[in-house]
Amino acid sequence: MTEQTAARNRADGKTKSGGAQTTAAELGLRELILSGELTPGARLSEPSVAERLGISRTPIRAAMARLEDEGLLEVIPSGGYAVKAFTESEIRDSIEVRGTLEGLAARMAAERGVSAADLDAMRDCLTEIDRILTGRDKGVADLSGYIELNRRFHQMLHYLPGSSVLERQIARATNLPFASPNGFLQAQADDEDAWLSLIVAQDQHWMVLAAIENREGARAEAIMREHARIAFRNMQSVLRNQDMFSQIPGARLIRRRIPR
């Protein structure tokens, strides 16, 4: 977080609504956490964070409450908040929760039925992913493109059942630290095994889409739950490799078990 950004936030704060200031505070505070500028376990000072972000204390207080609800902060006995550190088992559980909810979304979509337009949109997205994976075989690696399309596919899946209740719960689970489908991919750009896992993941994308189209709810659910395990295996690979681990946004938040 630069001085220029803080100055811009101070200027913007004169015109932004309370809700907009809280959102700006939340985004800025999340950036400070994931960049490692705020140390896990240390108590956060409202005045200090407000000064660093150039935002008044009231939005900062609201942002801290939101990030505590999201899981990036924790309440400490002496009062206030501290940045939370995460164990491998906590990250694994977060991925499992996300996979369970995505499986539910796939099953509900299959059972309720999906429009041809929605199916076509998902099919187009997967076709673009196929192009990226084929291009990589030809020496053109576009991991950032894959990450964006993968995010889009999962987001479309979340909306398919037409359940706002489920959408909120999946968004909450996906926002858990390191639980998103792309949580560890950026660190694996040069890892051959990771690219092979993307091919497996893409096969599962196509299979779940076919299951939804064919109204096979149980099959669609099982595929998505298995699909989440790829993210767990990616996590294990990254946490065991120091070079890859150092490339993860927010790596300082993770407590690793280092094999002896």
Instruction: Please give the chain's pLDDT, 260 residues, in tens.
Output: 554 454 444 445 444 556 788 999 999 998 888 777 888 888 898 898 999 999 999 999 999 999 998 888 999 988 889 999 999 899 999 999 999 999 999 999 999 999 999 999 999 999 999 999 988 665 556 888 999 999 999 999 999 999 999 999 999 898 887 888 888 877 776 777 778 889 999 999 999 999 999 999 999 999 999 999 998 888 888 888 888 887 777 788 888 765 44
Q: What is the pLDDT of residue 11?
A: 44
Read off the CATH number of the domain in which 51 is found: 1.10.10.10
* pLDDT at 255 (0 to 100): 84
Print burial letters for 191-229: b (CB count within 10 Å at least 16), e (below 16): beebbebbeebbebbbbbbebbbeebbebbbbbbbebbe
pLDDT of res. 31: 87
* Number of neighbouring beta carbons within 10 Å of residue 134: 10
Question: Would the CA dihedral through 130, 134, 140, 141 be positive or negative?
Answer: positive
What is the reported pLDDT for 138?
55
Task: Determine the pLDDT at residue 79.
Answer: 84
pLDDT of residue 249: 74
Q: Examine the fold and report which residue of 59, 85, 111 is the final residue of a domain before the chain moves on.
A: 85
Domain end call among 51, 85, 119: 85
Alpha-carbon dihedral of residues 233, 237, 238, 243, nearest 10 degrees?
A: -170
- Of the three residues 36, 67, 85, the one that is the final residue of a domain is 85
CATH number of the domain that 243 lies in?
1.20.120.530
| Distance, C-alpha 66 to centroid of its chain | 16
The reported pLDDT for the residue numbered 240 is 84
Residues 37 and 146 in one domain: no
* pLDDT at site 98: 95
Contact present, 28 and 44 (Cβ < 8 Å) = no
Range of the domain at 24: 3-85
Same domain, 49 and 69: yes
| Terminal C-alpha separation, the chain | 37
- Please check whether residues 211 and 170 belong to one and the same domain: yes
d(CA 159, CA 115): 12
